[in-house]
Amino acid sequence: MNLFLGIDGGGTGCRAVLADASGHILGRGEAGPANIASDFPGALDNILTATRAACGARDLTTLSAGLGLAGANAAGMSDRLAQALPFARLAIETDAITAVRGALGATDGIVAAIGTGSVFAAQRGGQVRQIGGWGLVLGDEGSGAWIGRAILSAALRAVDGFQPMTPLLAALIDTHGGPSGVVSFSLSAKPGEFARLAPQVLDSADPAAQAVMAKAAADVAAAITLLQGAEALPVVCLGGLGPAYAARLAGRWRMEAAKGSALDGALALARDLRQGQA
């Protein structure tokens, strides 16, 4: 029996699904974050944990696997992961590629995938152009991690007197044990830890939160505008923050629901391997 494994891994969690040739789902699994650039050992462990949960006692060395992973665009990371995984055949792409494959199928459109990190892609005639996805240090604008970092930066700027101290900023400083605690947190925090602050910002009426979200929405809109070019492509917003941005940007573009998930896109990658396309 030909079995196909799809894996979707990002800064918040990893999901795996096992399907047969007819598309029937045989098993599912979940585990923790799987950004192979920011934490390779942890990502590898979570990929295997989710895989084993989906596959049970099946022999992993017989599987065709398609993986869409955050951090796959970092030099050498995909090759390093491929050497560490037991699958018979595998294809590794960024999570943006599998998100596009699942969300758009064969149709043209733009995908804004915004969760712990952010990445954007346009598909035209089967060709995909990806922008962003560079990680929190260099990008990930509008993402949960970016929002968390931005609100903490605003808190410290308020301490210095560059902007007003608001109730939210004061509460964040107090929660972290003062300005030095904010700095200490920032030195070791991973993107997922910054992203845990985002819910406090998203729908807050606090002026500092609204300023951060205005900047985040502007950055997301700029990425979509760049990918649109002269055409009017439909936009699909994915990820944990996708619905929030779809609501904020409604009216600027035609928003559509995804045809499928990033896991569907990962399974399509795995099937391509059997067909000699990947």
- Give the pLDDT confidence score for residue 11 in this predicted structure: 77
Q: What is the mean pLDDT of the chain?
A: 91
Whether residues 124 and 99 share a domain: the answer is: no
* DSSP code, position 253: B
Average pLDDT over residues 271-275: 79
Whether residues 232 and 130 share a domain: the answer is: yes
Whether residues 83 and 128 share a domain: the answer is: no
231 or 220, which is more confident?
220
The percentage of the chain sitting over the pLDDT mark of 90, rounded to a whole number, equals 68
Whether residues 47 and 125 share a domain: the answer is: no
Whether residues 243 and 119 share a domain: the answer is: yes
Count CA atoms within 13 Å of residue 129 on its CB side.
12
* DSSP code, position 62: G
The CA distance from 174 to 116, in Å, is 24
Whether residues 144 and 236 share a domain: the answer is: yes
Whether residues 66 and 114 share a domain: the answer is: no
pTM value surpassing 0.75: yes
Whether residues 71 and 146 share a domain: the answer is: no
User: The CATH number of the domain where 57 resides is what?
Assistant: 3.30.420.40
Task: Look up residue 239 and give its amino acid.
Answer: G
Whether residues 210 and 159 share a domain: the answer is: yes
176 pLDDT exceeds 80? yes
Residues 3 and 62: beta-carbon distance below 8 Å? yes
Q: Given the DSSP bridges, would you call strands 3-9 and 14-20 parallel, antiparallel or unpaired? A: antiparallel
Helix ranges (H only) for 85-234 are 95-104, 144-160, 167-175, 179-188, 191-195, 199-202, 207-228
- Give the pLDDT confidence score for residue 275 in this predicted structure: 67
Task: Look up residue 83 and give its amino acid.
Answer: Q
142 or 116, which is more confident?
142
Class of residue 231 by CB neighbours under 10 A (exposed 0-12, middle 13-18, buried 19+):
exposed
Residues 207 and 170: beta-carbon distance below 8 Å? no
Whether residues 265 and 218 share a domain: the answer is: no
Burial 163-182 (b: 16+ CB within 10 A, else e): eeebebbeebbeebeeeeeb
* DSSP code, position 229: T
Whether residues 27 and 144 share a domain: the answer is: no
Whether residues 216 and 266 share a domain: the answer is: no
71 or 204, which is more confident?
204
The percentage of the chain sitting over the pLDDT mark of 70, rounded to a whole number, equals 98
The CA R_g of the chain, rounded to the nearest whole Å, is 20
- Give the pLDDT confidence score for residue 276 in this predicted structure: 55
The count of domains in the chain is: 2
Range of the structural domain that residue 79 is part of: 3-103+260-274
